[in-house]
Structure formats: C-alpha cells, structure tokens
A and B are shown apart, each in its own frame.
Chain A
Amino acid sequence: EPEVTQTPSHQVTQMGQEVILRCVPISNHLYFYWYRQILGQKVEFLVSFYNNEISEKSEIFDDQFSVERPDGSNFTLKIRSTKLEDSAMYFCANGQNQETQYFGPGTRLLVL
C-alpha cells in the first residue's frame, strides 16, 4: 500500500524560529491536507490544498502559516515564527478525493 511520508519525524526549535515540515504524498493523489494534534487533544484541521492553491483553511491557519509544493511533488508547511503553543504533532494527509485521506506518520514539533 502506498504511503505518505513526512520529515523530520521530530523537530525541536526555539521560540521565534521558522520551521518547515515536509511531506511526500502518494503519487497521483491530488488533495493535500495539514492537521495538528496537541498532546492529549483532538486532531485539528489546518488547511487543504488542491490544484496548487489553498481550498480551505481553519482559524488556526493564520499569517504565520504557509503551504506550498515547491517542486510539484513534496508538500510543505512553514511556520514563520514559532510560538510555544505551536508544539504539537503535525500530520500531512493526502487523497485522491475529498473523502478518503491517508495520513503520514507525523512530525512532532517542540517549541522551547
């Protein structure tokens, strides 16, 4: 079964630093998503991306966040100036349509 992969698996950063989380999606799956899950809490939708543009975003996805597909395959989430409360697990998900999503293993981000 094809898999979504994410790098790095863990990242520790200082408050105020920029981080870039990377996702390698399943080939030919054109719907992309980022979610976060703060420890002990529910999974929260951040943004969906289709046809090289954002299709939906949540209130969490403010100006500090951005997404792009820099080389037409990888899918990245950038946090410009991290805050303590950005510490969470960040999941990339990918699907052939809006219904079925395959999640990557996540990047655990810790902001100190």
Chain B
Amino acid sequence: RKEVEQDPGPFNVPEGATVAFNCTYSNSASQSFFWYRQDCRKEPKLLMSVYSSGNEDGRFTAQLNRASQYISLLIRDSKLSDSATYLCVVNGAGGSYIPTFGRGTSLIVHP
C-alpha cells in the first residue's frame, strides 16, 4: 500500500463550485499533515497545515481524521486562480520525520 494516496483527478468544476479532495495515509504514527499547492512547472507552496480540530483559512477548510487515516481539503466558491495541483504531505509516514508527498490532485476551475 502506498504511504500517501490521492485521487489524481482532474476535478473539473465551474467557478463558484465547492470541491473536496481526500488523501489517505498508511502509517498511523504519522505526526503532521499539510496541503500544498503546485502550479504547473512551479515549486510547491504551503497552503495550510492540518490539525485534528480542523482549520479554516478563508475559502479553504482542512480536516484530519486519524481514526480513518485521511485528511481532506474543501474549497468553497472556487475561483479560476484555484486551478492547480493540490499536494497532500504527511510527515513521519515512513516511520521517521521525513515528509512524504502524494502525487497530487489536479483541479481545473472553468468559467
């Protein structure tokens, strides 16, 4: 089983839509969790950390479910500029403090 798994998509949604991504991880001892955004041929940029209590930043909400070993990202009121690949990152997934990236979920927001 892969350490960090994501649906590659693409998720093709109209502007204004709400879209959600999930990411599953295999190591129950994983310590910390993040969502990054990566535009085509650019570097990853931290979008938000993910906490057990859930956290929200504007239109973005992240949740962690330790029991089921997944994290989620919800984007409300999608903008054209949200089009990107969203990377799930788990620290400690391999048993040590090494960040493990998922392959990413592609989001395309169209007019």
Interface residues of A (CB under 8 A from B): 33, 41-45, 48, 55-56, 58, 89, 91, 98-106
Q: Which residue on chain B has the smallest CB distance to residue A56?
A: B98
* Cβ–Cβ < 8 Å partners of A45 in chain B: 98-101
Interface residues on B, range: 20 to 34
Q: Determine how close the nearest CB of chain A comes to the CB of B10; give it in whole angstroms.
A: 14
- The reply to whether B44 and A98 contact each other, CB–CB distance below 8 Å, is no
* Total A-B Cβ pairs within 8 A: 45
| Residues of chain B within 8 A of A58, CB atoms compared | 98
Question: In the complex, given contacts A43-B87, A99-B34, what are 5 additional A-B residue pairs having Cβ atoms less than 8 angstroms apart?
Answer: A41-B103, A43-B38, A56-B97, A91-B44, A101-B99
Contact indicator B91/A98 (Cβ below 8 Å): yes
How far is it, in angstroms, between the C-alpha of A87 and the C-alpha of B100 when the chains are bound? 20
By secondary structure, the B interface counts as strand
Nearest residue in A to B45 (C-beta to C-beta)?
Answer: A103
* Inter-chain contacts of B104 with A (CB < 8 A): 42
- Could you name 25 residue pairs across A and B whose Cβ atoms are closer than 8 Å? A42-B87, A42-B104, A43-B38, A43-B44, A43-B87, A43-B101, A45-B99, A45-B100, A56-B96, A56-B97, A56-B98, A58-B98, A89-B41, A98-B91, A98-B97, A99-B49, A99-B91, A100-B49, A101-B46, A102-B46, A103-B43, A103-B44, A103-B45, A105-B43, A106-B43
Which single residue of chain A is at the shortest CB-CB distance from B49?
Answer: A99
Chain B residue nearest to A4 (CB atoms) is: B43
Query: Is A42 touching B103 in the complex (CB atoms < 8 A)?
Result: yes
**B101–A42 touching, CB < 8 Å:** yes
